[in-house]
């Protein structure tokens, strides 16, 4: 498998990013993952940051060869627990974040993020990296940047029989709304610049 996203692509750091139909406001219904991937590709074209979606490690068990030149994977298993969705480097700092969508209007269920992912975020912070969540409330058509420190605070409260979710109002107060943009659809680096640099 090629990394990331199964496609090998050479970045041309000298050319200006192209404008295409995929980056217009008409595509706001796309998934958060698609929007972040497009944003990361834009950052890469500008030579602004190198951030990729992490592939989930899979153990291939059975392969069927219907033709000599083609192979079809017929059975495979997740090899290990994944960490967070995205990682990379920006402005000399390690960046690591989780991206989630919810249709819930009033809260974000903490069950959407697994325990090993919370522990991974905590480890990133302990080593001086920048860790955060990008959470999209699809019914409000709003995407928020929220520091891992806040996610971890609510997760630790949940472990002590506290609430099993984070209220939407906390994202409005403690998070940063990421406005949808023309090219960098989910321009989280703008928020990182304000918070960390």
Encode pLDDT of 28-75 as tens digits. Answer: 445 999 999 999 999 999 999 999 998 766 667 788 788 777 888 777
- Over residues 96-153, the pLDDT tens digits come to 999 999 999 999 999 999 999 999 999 999 999 999 999 999 999 999 999 999 999 9
The span from the CA of 36 to the CA of 97, in Å, is 11
Residue 66 lies inside a defined structural domain of this protein: no
- Sign of the Cα pseudo-torsion (85, 95, 180, 35, in order): negative
Residue 65 lies inside a defined structural domain of this protein: no
The span from the CA of 97 to the CA of 104, in Å, is 21
How many C-beta neighbours within 10 Å does residue 164 have? 13
Res 72: pLDDT: 81
- Sign of the Cα pseudo-torsion (120, 132, 134, 197, in order): negative
User: Is 73:86 a contact under the CB 8 Å cutoff?
Assistant: no
Residue 46 lies inside a defined structural domain of this protein: yes
Does the pLDDT at position 24 exceed 80?
Answer: no
Does the pLDDT at position 89 exceed 90?
Answer: yes
Res 81: pLDDT: 67
Residue 7 lies inside a defined structural domain of this protein: no
Does the pLDDT at position 196 exceed 70?
Answer: yes
Does the pLDDT at position 167 exceed 50?
Answer: yes
The domain of 146 spans 21-54+81-196
Residue 122 lies inside a defined structural domain of this protein: yes
pTM of the model: 0.76
Q: Is residue 79 exposed (0-12), middle (13-18) or buried (19+ Cβ within 10 Å)?
A: exposed
Name the pairing type of β-strands 50-53 and 70-78.
unpaired
Residue 67 lies inside a defined structural domain of this protein: no
Residue 154 lies inside a defined structural domain of this protein: yes
Res 161: pLDDT: 97
Q: Looking at residue 135, which CATH number applies to its domain?
A: 3.40.1350.10
Residue 140 lies inside a defined structural domain of this protein: yes
Res 182: pLDDT: 86
Q: Please give the tally of structural domains in the chain.
A: 1
């Amino acid at each position: 498998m090629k990394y990331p996203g199964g496609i090998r692509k050479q970045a041309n750091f000298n050319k200006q990013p192209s404008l295409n139909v995929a980056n217009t406001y008409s595509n706001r219904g796309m998934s958060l993952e698609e929007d972040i991937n497009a944003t990361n590709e834009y950052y890469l074209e500008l030579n602004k940051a190198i951030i990729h979606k992490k592939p989930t490690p899979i153990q291939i068990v059975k392969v069927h060869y219907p033709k000599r030149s083609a192979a079809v994977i017929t059975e495979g298993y997740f090899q290990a627990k994944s960490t967070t969705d995205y990682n990379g480097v920006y402005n000399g700092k390690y960046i690591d974040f989780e991206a989630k969508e919810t249709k819930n209007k009033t809260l974000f269920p903490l069950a959407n993020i697994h325990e090993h992912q919370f522990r991974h975020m905590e480890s990133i912070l302990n080593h001086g990296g920048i860790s955060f969540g990008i959470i999209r409330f699809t019914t409000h058509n709003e995407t928020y940047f929220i520091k891992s420190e806040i996610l971890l605070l609510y997760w630790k409260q949940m472990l002590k029989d506290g609430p099993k979710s984070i209220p939407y109002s906390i994202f409005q107060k403690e998070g940063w709304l990421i406005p949808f943009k023309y090219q960098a659809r989910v321009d989280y680096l703008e928020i990182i610049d304000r918070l960390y640099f």
